[in-house]
Structure 1
């Protein structure tokens, strides 16, 4: 069954969101006060509306409780509108409300009025990008809550021709290798203990925060 998702606010984040959701076969209803943005969104969303989501009567007509997820992405346009909209969505029985925040105070208020999850795409990207700046071997990183991360990085030269069993990364660095992308073929496969690594293979690991940076620092090759 297709996921039914409501996206309120069609700035760069909201527009990018509905494009990706549409590709993943979600049924999206998109709202914004800007008619031009609504027209652009019509190419991706199943339903688009030019309206003010802080209008309680209008929002109730859209039946937020029937949607799997409601995303309030208006944070970059109006803090007040994001707070009012989030509160209304929860009052109307929305199952899961995700709200975009501009700053820490805004994030706390959104949580207080009922947001199930508060996000700030700029903060999240900034954190991931900073790690890539510090360690060039890190290709991508994604948070899994407050203490775990999924990281994609190039295999250090020191690990070449050694198996995961020999390296014992779980004990040494508090990380679990879940997948490997072979450097030569580009093939992705689930990691096995006897898997032998090659230089420039790409590892996907789940680890505690800072573990990958520590591994890369300890295995850094002299220039």
Structure 2
């Protein structure tokens, strides 16, 4: 897929590098030449330009881009102007970053396709990580269903997936198991990445350091978590 990312702050740069590493074509723009130079080797294309200037933005391949992400977080005015400009230029799918509730209402009025709140979403995930035993991460599919990652509780080590009878006892499904591996990125920083073990099979024996990837209704996941000594989330 082809992406345009507007803003190379902490979120925009991380998103650009992640998408590039997955083989997507990314054009990342920022008004800071320093940031453009910093990320030019790890993002497909980086361009120094003013995302609020219609003449220069009009030169971007917007019609050939699948998704435009306005990730500007430091300047609310620039965020709104850039978002409105890409909307006017008929971006196929436009996603923008919300800084506060009033800003979100403005973005909704502009007619963006989606709005994200990286600080709020990160805080909610870290609240779960820090306060819930075994909890690793979660992805909410809707108000009632989620995919949850938990470190394997001690009592489950050495058991097969079939023995747990998760679907029968809790109406949830163990999709896969994975382990987090450490590696050094191009900036010399230590990072972690998941190593997926493949689709879960009944005969698979659960091991120490496994992370369980579970899907189901939130109430059923919570019932399972309580049964293995984890607080409901």
TM-score, scaled relative to structure 2: 0.79
| Cα pair 1:6 1:70 within 8 Å, conserved | yes
Structure 2: 5+ residue stretches without partners: 180-194
Deviations 1:90-132 (A, max 9, x none): 2212111121111233223223312212111121221111112
Q: 1:165 to 1:135 in 2, by over 3 A?
A: same
Identify which of 211, 215, 228 aligns with 1:202. Answer: 211
2:129 counterpart of 1:132: yes
Q: Please identify which structure carries the higher strand content.
A: 2
Q: Separation in 2 of the partners of 1:147 and 1:9?
A: 33
Residue 32 of structure 1 corresponds to which residue in structure 2?
Answer: 30
Q: CA RMSD in A?
A: 2.6
Residue 49 of structure 1 corresponds to which residue in structure 2?
Answer: 47
2:73 counterpart of 1:64: no
Q: Separation in 2 of the partners of 1:30 and 1:199?
A: 40
Deviation at 1:28, TM superposition (A): 1.6
2:79 counterpart of 1:82: yes
Q: Secondary structure at the match of 1:107?
A: helix
Q: Separation in 2 of the partners of 1:50 and 1:199?
A: 47
Q: Separation in 1 of the partners of 2:144 and 2:104?
A: 19
Q: Secondary structure at the match of 2:58?
A: helix
Identify which of 64, 70, 73 aligns with 2:71. Answer: 73
Q: 1:160 to 1:12 in 2, by over 3 A?
A: closer
| Cα pair 2:11 2:71 within 8 Å, conserved | yes
| Cα pair 1:135 1:216 within 8 Å, conserved | no
Identify which of 99, 103, 116 aligns with 1:102. Answer: 99
Paired residues, what number? 215
TM-score, scaled relative to structure 1: 0.82
Identify which of 117, 121, 130 aligns with 2:118. Answer: 121
2:174 counterpart of 1:177: yes
Q: Separation in 2 of the partners of 1:99 and 1:187?
A: 31
Deviation at 1:166, TM superposition (A): 5.0
Q: Secondary structure at the match of 1:112?
A: helix
Summarize the alignment of residues 2-17 of structure 1 with structure 2, pairs less than 5 Å apart: 3-17=1-15
